[in-house]
Amino acid sequence: MAAMDVIVEKLVTVWRRPAVRRVFPLLFLLISSVGSILKELELVPPSYFSSSKNFFNLYFVKVSWGWTLLLLTPFLLISSSVHRGASLLGQRLLSLAVATAVWYICTETFLYIEDATGACFQSKTSLLATNEFASKATCRRAGFNWRGQDISGHSFILTYSSLLIMEETSPMAILRTASLPALARTVLNLLYVALNLLVMTWVWMFVCTSVYFHQPIDKLLGTICGLLGWYLTYRYWYLKPFSPGLPPHCQLKEQKQHA
């Protein structure tokens, strides 16, 4: 597995750079802004990814939170066993529970806002709304078109999931030199590489969302919500005593910064 070790080492080296960790969150705002301009000016030609029925959208983005938890949970189970065992595992699983709550509250709020601000039209080009249907679900079931403030759930979840993975996989910087059984080491390396591939997929699909779908304000609001969900937890609340706390590697960095 020497090749896998080399890949892990290179990925860890990239994520350990302070500049990368500072710029990565801002990258989503940049992509959303530039992508929205390109979409409004119609400068990006249609492609396989301009269809909402493309493979990656249907089987990855639509269930992106499931993919994130599927890979991140076993990574935390193994990595926590190297440090403080049950205590650290409980903290990290609590952080996933908090993240899931953030995901659920935000997505449900987006749906509520779209319902509360929208109206049902017989077609995408129709100018006259019908009062027969009071929600997006009933309107679409009838074959009509619902128009409301459609905050981009894709922009939110792809931003939030990517930043969550960045934070929770940061202990790999110290885990790669820790003493681990061969099987645990192999599984941990595979999960780490898979999570990095997942982040690359989320960033690429975020680019596609920015240049092909939604109105600029809807993408910007979704992106900002994702950034706020990350910032208010990992850059504010998790620094406080009564919180899940930061992952071990981040804790060490915070201690050095405040020394």
Euclidean distance between the first and the last CA atom of the chain, given in angstroms as a whole number? 39
Q: What three-state secondary structure class fits 111?
A: helix
Rounded-to-integer distance, Cα 244 and Cα 80, Å:
13
Sign of the dihedral through C-alpha 144, 64, 216, 222: positive
**Tokens at 108, concatenated:** 């449900």
Active site residue 154: yes
Which residue is associated with the tokens 């597995």? Answer: 1
Instruction: Report the length, in residues, of the chain.
Output: 259
At residue 53, φ and ψ (nearest 5 deg) are -95, 15
Question: Residues 83, 154, 249, 258: which is the catalytic one?
Answer: 154
Active site residue 214: yes
Rounded-to-integer distance, Cα 26 and Cα 8, Å:
24
C-alpha closest to that of 115 among 146, 92, 73, 71: 146
- For residue 121, what is the enclosing H or E element? strand 119-121
If 0-12 CB within 10 Å is exposed, 13-18 middle and 19+ buried, where does residue 238 land?
Answer: buried
**Tokens at 257, concatenated:** 């910064």
Positions marked active-site: 154, 214
